[in-house]
Chain A
């Protein structure tokens, strides 16, 4: 990854950014919580949506646009942006 790509990555504050490791998932740039159950958590990252599907999902912490989720993670999905916005499909 060159410097330009790294800068773009760091300043993408309205795009989904996830770090997954074992049974923990860290989601950055959380603007809204759209849906929350034990099996699915959907958050709005500004320009796109992120969805985590799994079992016994639990939000360990929400703080300063960062969410830490634990549980049996099965899949991660990304949805297009809202109507009229850049990533709308």
Chain B
């Protein structure tokens, strides 16, 4: 049996005009036509709701004795029919589907997992340089992206990029650099871990191998763990034993030279506005980029400024900004010696911070300027007193290095 009660089923509300309404209703009852909401307005007019599948049968009963007017149609079928009869609805639906598909081709969120040493901002910045950012296209060469991250961020052992819908999940695993710890019970040397001239060696255990003034390279033995032995147990097998292995202990200080080279601009460039400007709009919709100001751009030197008006990631990446390009005249001014000296000192401070270990003592520093066509080369020479040396286990039967 068909479901007559469901409001989703197709039903028709009609107005019936004619004589002998009772006869018509009786005939419908006799033929098993289901009727709902019968409202008798007067002797000549009534309204009835019929199911769609009974409507043709009803029309056959009424023939031409009654005037039938359809007042309303209910149910999902007429709704769908009505919907698809309107062109604007079809266009809207197509547009909606297009936006839905189009927005799925962009990254709307980036989640970064697994970072420890690096900050999220650093990783995001690196990803942005590689082309992955909120609003970027998903059609990205992931191999190139990973390669960029490996090159840009040190000590990354693994990186994985996974798309979950519009979310890009970036997982990184950082490597751990831990100095090899040599057990106290094992014999070891103390070797140089950087180049320098030995200044002082304090050997608490082991034999001093590098005297003050010696030039050492990484890997050279500073305090040896092999101690020569002169046995007095004459007549026993022990007399043959000529050396003893110890766990070396001590500190070695060395003078380490640094030679650093920097460049400075010889001239200072001053920008003077000419009061000529171009205004425009920059629009970015997904991969489509339009900048109206650049169309009319014809200046040799200019300053570009932009004011963001709209920046959306969802449902599709849209960026709108007002652009202003001001023409400028660039004049060259030679920098004075004091300015160069000031800048050089800043570079020295930066170099010390970046290159020299924290617990080091600066013994000497010198600056040397060399003039080029447009640039000035600054050679910084530093001499520091640093603690060098690391423990290296002695493995019998294998070479030290």
Q: Give the B-binding residues of A (Cβ under 8 A).
A: 30-38, 58-65
Given contacts A36-B21, A36-B40, contact A61 B35 (CB under 8 A): yes
Q: Nearest chain-A residue to B24 (Cβ)?
A: A33
Q: How far is the CA of A32 from the CA of B40 in the complex (A)?
A: 16
B32/A33 in contact, CB under 8 A: no
List residues of B (106-156) whose CB comes within 8 Å of A's CBs.
Answer: none
Q: Give the A-binding residues of B (Cβ under 8 A).
A: 4, 21-22, 25-26, 28-29, 32, 34-40, 43, 46
Q: How far is the CA of A37 from the CA of B44 in the complex (A)?
A: 10
A33/B22 in contact, CB under 8 A: yes
B29/A65 in contact, CB under 8 A: yes
B21/A62 in contact, CB under 8 A: no
Could you say which residues of chain A place their CB within 8 Å of the CB of B4? 63
Q: How far is the CA of A39 from the CA of B29 in the complex (A)?
A: 21
Could you say which residues of chain A place their CB within 8 Å of the CB of B39? 58-59
B29/A62 in contact, CB under 8 A: yes
Some 6 contacts from A to B, beta carbons below 8 A apart, are A32-B22, A36-B46, A37-B40, A37-B43, A61-B36, A61-B37
Q: How far is the CA of A34 from the CA of B39 in the complex (A)?
A: 15
A62/B35 in contact, CB under 8 A: yes
Main secondary structure of the interface of A (DSSP, over half): strand
B25/A33 in contact, CB under 8 A: yes
Could you say which residues of chain A place their CB within 8 Å of the CB of B35? 59, 61-63
A58/B37 in contact, CB under 8 A: yes
Q: Nearest chain-B residue to A39 (Cβ)?
A: B40
A34/B22 in contact, CB under 8 A: yes
Q: Nearest chain-B residue to A44 (Cβ)?
A: B26
A33/B40 in contact, CB under 8 A: no
Could you say which residues of chain A place their CB within 8 Å of the CB of B21? 36
Q: Nearest chain-A residue to B37 (Cβ)?
A: A60
Could you say which residues of chain B place their CB within 8 Å of the CB of A32? 22, 26, 29
User: Which 10 pairs between the two chains have the least Cβ-Cβ distance?
Assistant: A59-B38, A33-B25, A32-B26, A63-B34, A33-B22, A62-B35, A61-B36, A36-B40, A33-B26, A37-B40
| Interface contacts beyond A33-B26, A62-B38, A64-B32: sample of 20 additional A-B pairs, CB < 8 Å, sorted by A | A30-B29, A31-B26, A32-B29, A33-B22, A33-B25, A33-B29, A36-B22, A36-B25, A36-B40, A37-B40, A38-B40, A58-B38, A59-B39, A60-B36, A61-B35, A61-B36, A62-B29, A62-B34, A62-B36, A63-B35
Task: Report the minimal beta-carbon distance from A41 to chain B, rounded to whole angstroms.
Answer: 9
A35/B22 in contact, CB under 8 A: yes
Could you say which residues of chain A place their CB within 8 Å of the CB of B36? 60-62
Task: Report the minimal beta-carbon distance from B16 to chain A, rounded to whole angstroms.
Answer: 12
Task: Report the minimal beta-carbon distance from B20 to chain A, rounded to whole angstroms.
Answer: 10
B26/A59 in contact, CB under 8 A: no
Could you say which residues of chain A place their CB within 8 Å of the CB of B40? 36-38
Task: Report the minimal beta-carbon distance from A38 to chain B, rounded to whole angstroms.
Answer: 6
Q: How far is the CA of A89 from the CA of B327 in the complex (A)?
A: 114
Task: Report the minimal beta-carbon distance from A79 to chain B, rounded to whole angstroms.
Answer: 15
Task: Report the minimal beta-carbon distance from A69 to chain B, rounded to whole angstroms.
Answer: 9
